[in-house]
């Protein structure tokens, strides 16, 4: 049995989550229209609730890990290998299709990596949006390039704020020989 939850995001549209009961998360995708009919009910599936909460934190700009979420993925052996490599790409960083191909020992398989990347059934949870072209261009995304750019900007902006907060010294103004004031 497949259970479903969804929520609406102003840029991504409806974020639809599906899980196979007692097996794990099988789908995270974005769609413009509200899920129809019987699928509109929100499942109480604990995996879906956990993923929904983490995605909400993620979309608020908080780094979130998904590596402990049980997944139930169907794909070719190559697709599963690609998706496994994608899970190791840190928040706020990108890698090229070629880099993924090299990790798999097939440096000339960039196009095949792109195909597998585009078939990723669990967007964000397996961060296929972090894969860009060798020249730094964003490249394609199954849900639209603007959504990919939104996700990359979300992560990059938060990473820059963290670096600014933790690496810049606080400005100090000397008021006298004995005291200093933090600005």
Q: How many CA atoms lie within 13 A of 81 on its CB side?
A: 13
Burial class of residue 78 (count of CB atoms within 10 Å of its CB; 0-12, 13-18, 19+): middle
* DSSP code for 71: B
Question: Active site includes 26?
Answer: no
Q: Which structural domain, as residue segments, surrounds residue 88?
A: 77-156
- Position 111 in a domain: yes
Question: Does 136 lie in the same domain as 90?
Answer: yes
End-to-end alpha carbon distance in the chain: 58
What ranges make up the beta strands (E) of the chain?
Answer: 2-9, 13-20, 24-31, 95-96, 131-132, 172-174, 180-182
Q: Is pLDDT of 53 > 50?
A: yes
- Position 66 in a domain: no
The dihedrals phi and psi of 86, each to the nearest 5 degrees, come to -60, -35
Q: pTM value?
A: 0.83
Question: Does 40 lie in the same domain as 92?
Answer: no
The string of pLDDT tens digits covering residues 82-105 is 999 999 999 999 999 999 999 999
Q: Is pLDDT of 177 > 70?
A: no
Question: Does 100 lie in the same domain as 140?
Answer: yes
Q: What pLDDT does residue 41 have?
A: 62
What's the chain's average pLDDT?
87
Q: What pLDDT does residue 37 have?
A: 59
Question: Does 86 lie in the same domain as 19?
Answer: no
Catalytic residue among 20, 125, 128, 152: 128
- Position 118 in a domain: yes
Please state the domain count of the chain. Answer: 2
């Amino acid at each position: 049995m497949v259970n479903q939850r969804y929520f609406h995001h102003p840029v991504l549209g409806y974020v639809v989550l599906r899980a196979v009961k007692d097996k794990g998360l099988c789908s995270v995708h974005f769609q413009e229209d509200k899920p129809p009919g019987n699928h509109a009910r929100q499942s109480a599936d604990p995996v879906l609730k956990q993923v929904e909460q983490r995605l909400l934190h993620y979309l608020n700009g908080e780094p979130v890990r998904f590596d402990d979420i049980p997944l139930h993925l169907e794909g070719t052996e190559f697709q599963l290998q690609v998706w496994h490599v994608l899970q190791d790409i840190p928040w706020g960083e990108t890698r090229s299709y070629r880099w993924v191909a090299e990790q798999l020992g097939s440096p000339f398989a960039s196009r095949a990596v792109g195909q597998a990347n585009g078939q990723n059934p669990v967007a964000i949870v397996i961060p296929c949006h972090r894969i860009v072209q060798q020249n730094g261009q964003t490249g394609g995304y199954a849900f639209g390039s603007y959504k990919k750019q939104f996700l990359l900007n979300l992560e990059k902006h938060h990473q820059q704020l963290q670096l600014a907060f933790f690496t810049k010294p606080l400005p100090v103004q000397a008021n006298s020989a004995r005291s200093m004031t933090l600005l």
